[in-house]
Amino acid sequence: MPDFLVIGGGITGLAAAYELFREGQDFILIEENDYFGGKVKTNLRDGFVIEGGPDCFLSEKPQVFQIARELKFEDKIIGTNDEFKGTYILSGGRLHELPEGLMMMVPTKIIPFALSPLISWPGKIRMGMDLFIPRKKDDEDESLYSFVTRRLGREALEKIAEPLIGGIHAGTPEEMSVKASFPRFVEMERKYGSLIRGMLAAKKAFSNRPKTKSNITYFMSFQKGMGELAENIVKNLPDYKLFTGKKAVKVTYQKGKYRTYLTDGEIIESKHVILAVPAYNAAELLEEVNKDLAELLAQTGFASSATITLAYRKEDWPFKVNTFGFVVPRIEKRHLMALTYSSVKWSYRVPDQSFLLVRAFLGGANNQEDVFLPEQDMVNLVLAEIKDILGVKAKPLFYEIFRWPRGMAQYKVGHLERLDKIEKLVFEMPGLALAGSSYRGIGVPDCIKSGREAVRNLLNK
Ligand SMILES: Cc1cc2nc3c(=O)[nH]c(=O)nc-3n(C[C@H](O)[C@H](O)[C@H](O)COP(=O)(O)OP(=O)(O)OC[C@H]3O[C@@H](n4cnc5c(N)ncnc54)[C@H](O)[C@@H]3O)c2cc1C
C-alpha cells in the first residue's frame, strides 16, 4: 500500500509526483491516457513540432524555470522571436496591428496608440479616462465585462479585452470573475488607482530587472515544445511508480484509508490521495467520500476548444509572414478564435525555413459546437476562414487536430467563494488534496505550483 496515490498524470500530477519523490515519499501515480502530460501534449513529426495544448508559459511566473533548473533541463528553454512580436486584431473584417506599447489590454505609449486605427477617437479618450476614474470602493467580485467597461470602456472590451484577455480562458467576459481569472488587474487598480499607471509601473520593473545572459521573453517554451517539460519530469522519476492506462472510477474513505477503484477491477489503498484531475472528474470520484464536496466541484464551469495545426510550404503562402498571428473578437461573428504563426513566433518548429507552421483555435465559450465537428468539416471551416480573412487559398501539406472537450476551466463570478468552501471541506478530510487548473490558476506554472503545494500541504497537515 503506497502512502500517496496521485490520480492524473497531467502537468499538475507530474509536479506532485516530483515533489513526493524529492521528499522521499512512497507514492504511485495513475493516468488514464496512454501518455503523461495531459493537455501538455506535443507531437514531433518529421522535424515539425506540433503543440496540441499550451505552446508557452509566462516567464513572470517562476515555477517552470525552477523545476527545469532543479532537474537540469533549463538549457532547453527558449524565448519567442521578438523581432516578429506584433499581434493583430480582426476588426470590421480587417486586420489591425495592436499598437506598440499596448500591454495585455492597457495602452502604455501615447503616440502609437493615438495613431492606431483599431480604436475610434471616442474609444481612445474613454480608455484614457482610466487615469481619472476612482478605484472601486468595495472588495466585491465582478465580471471581466464589468471591470473593463468600468475602467476602459466598451470598445476596449469588445475589440481588445474580450479576444486577447478573455481568449486566454476561452471564456465569456460577462461570466468570468476578474478576481479569480485576472487578480493582477484588480491589484493594479487597488494599488495604483489606474490600470495605465499600474502597467507603466510593471513595465518599469520589468526593464529594471537584473539582466541575465539568456533570452527572457514574456512567453517562453522548450526547443521540442511544451511536451519536453512533461517528458523531462517523467524521465527523472522512477518508472515503476508511474502508470498509464489506469483510470480511477471511485474513491472511498474508511478508517484512515482511501480505496481507489480502477476500471480494470484493481483497488489501490493509500493513506493519502491527490486528485490532479479536472474538477468534474474529481466530483465523480469523490461522490462517496463527501457528497457536498462533490456537488461544489461539479459546479465548476468548463469551455471546450480545439487546435488545428497546418503545415505549409512558404512558397505556397502568398505573403511573407512577420508577426505572431491574430485574434478574432466575437463581435466579428467568426468561427476562428485566433491564429498563431508558430514557426515565426518560435524557432525549432519546422525542419527548415522553407516551411510555415500555422495553428488555428476553434471553440471557446461562443462556438462550443465547432470542437465536435467531423474532422474534414473542421479543416474545411478553418481553411475557409483563412481564405476569407487572409486571402490565402493554399492547401496545407498536412494538418493535426487536437480536441479539448471541457478543456479549459472557467472561473466565473463567485468562483473564489465556492473555492473557499471546497478548500474548507478538503481540509477537514485527512490525507486528501485537490490540485490543478480548476482552482487557482489555469496556466502551466500555476498547475506546477498547485501540484507541489498539494504535497507540501499534506505533509504539513
Ligand atoms: C488549447 C489549450 C491551450 C492552452 N494554452 C496554454 C498556454 O499557452 N500556456 C499555459 O500556461 N496554459 C495553457 N493552457 C492551460 C494549461 O495547458 C492547462 O491548464 C494545464 O495543462 C492543465 O494541467 P492539469 O494537469 O491540471 O490537467 P490535465 O492536463 O487535464 O491533466 C489531468 C490528467 O488527469 C487524467 N485523468 C482524468 N481523470 C482521470 C481518472 N479518473 N483516472 C486517471 N486519470 C485521470 C487525464 O487523462 C489528464 O491526463 C492551455 C489549455 C488548452 C486546452
Parallel, antiparallel or unpaired: strands 432-434 and 272-275: parallel
The dihedral region occupied by 274, where left means phi > 0, alpha psi between -120 and 50, and beta the remainder, is beta
- Average of per-residue pLDDT across 314-318: 96
70: helix, coil or strand? helix
What strand order describes the sheet that includes 398-410?
A: 94-97, 87-91, 325-327, 338-341, 355-363, 301-313, 398-410
pLDDT digits (tens, 9 = 90+) for 154-199: 999 999 999 988 788 888 999 999 999 999 999 999 999 999 999 9
Parallel, antiparallel or unpaired: strands 338-341 and 325-327: antiparallel
pLDDT tier at 461, thresholds 50, 70, 90: confident
268 CA distance to ligand 1 middle (Å): 24
Ligand 1 neighbourhood includes 407 CB (under 6 angstroms): yes
For the CA of 33, the nearest atom of ligand 1: 47
Contact 392, 304 (CB under 8 A): no
Residue type (1 letter), 33: N
Q: Which residue has a Cα nearest atom 21 of ligand 1?
A: 39
- Average of per-residue pLDDT across 328-332: 95
Averaged pLDDT of the chain: 95
C-alpha span between 39 and 16 (Å, rounded): 16
- Average of per-residue pLDDT across 302-328: 96
253: helix, coil or strand? strand
pLDDT digits (tens, 9 = 90+) for 94-105: 999 998 888 888
| pLDDT(321) > 90 | yes
Q: 131: how many CB neighbours lie within 10 A of its CB?
A: 12
| pLDDT for the residue 212 | 61
| pLDDT(384) > 90 | yes
The dihedral region occupied by 373, where left means phi > 0, alpha psi between -120 and 50, and beta the remainder, is beta
| pLDDT for the residue 456 | 97
Instruction: For CA atoms 21, 26, 29, 35, give the dihedral sign.
Output: positive
Q: Which residue has a Cα nearest atom 25 of ligand 1?
A: 10
40 CA distance to ligand 1 middle (Å): 6
Residue to mutate (ligand 1; options 33, 34, 39, 243; most atoms within 8 A of CB):
39
pLDDT tier at 353, thresholds 50, 70, 90: very high
Residue type (1 letter), 148: V
CATH number for the 102-207 domain, one of 1.10.3110.10, 3.30.420.10, 1.10.10.10, 1.10.760.10? 1.10.3110.10
* Count of CA atoms in the C-beta half-sphere (13 A) of 97: 14
- Average of per-residue pLDDT across 385-409: 97
For the CA of 404, the nearest atom of ligand 1: 53
Q: Which three cell numbers stand for residue 100?
A: 506598440
Ligand 1 neighbourhood includes 363 CB (under 6 angstroms): no
Q: Which residue has a Cα nearest atom 34 of ligand 1?
A: 8
Overall CATH class of domain 4-38+227-289+429-460: alpha beta
| pLDDT for the residue 43 | 98
Beta strands in 235-354 (DSSP E): 242-243, 248-254, 257-262, 267-270, 272-275, 301-313, 325-327, 338-341
For the CA of 446, the nearest atom of ligand 1: 11
pLDDT digits (tens, 9 = 90+) for 402-440: 999 999 999 999 999 999 999 999 999 999 999 999 999
ipTM exceeding 0.85, yes/no: yes
C-alpha span between 165 and 180 (Å, rounded): 13
For the CA of 284, the nearest atom of ligand 1: 41
Q: What is the domain partition of the chain in residue ranges?
A: 4-38+227-289+429-460, 102-207
Residue to mutate (ligand 1; options 58, 234, 277; most atoms within 8 A of CB):
277
| pLDDT(131) > 70 | yes
38 CA distance to ligand 1 middle (Å): 5
| pLDDT for the residue 214 | 65
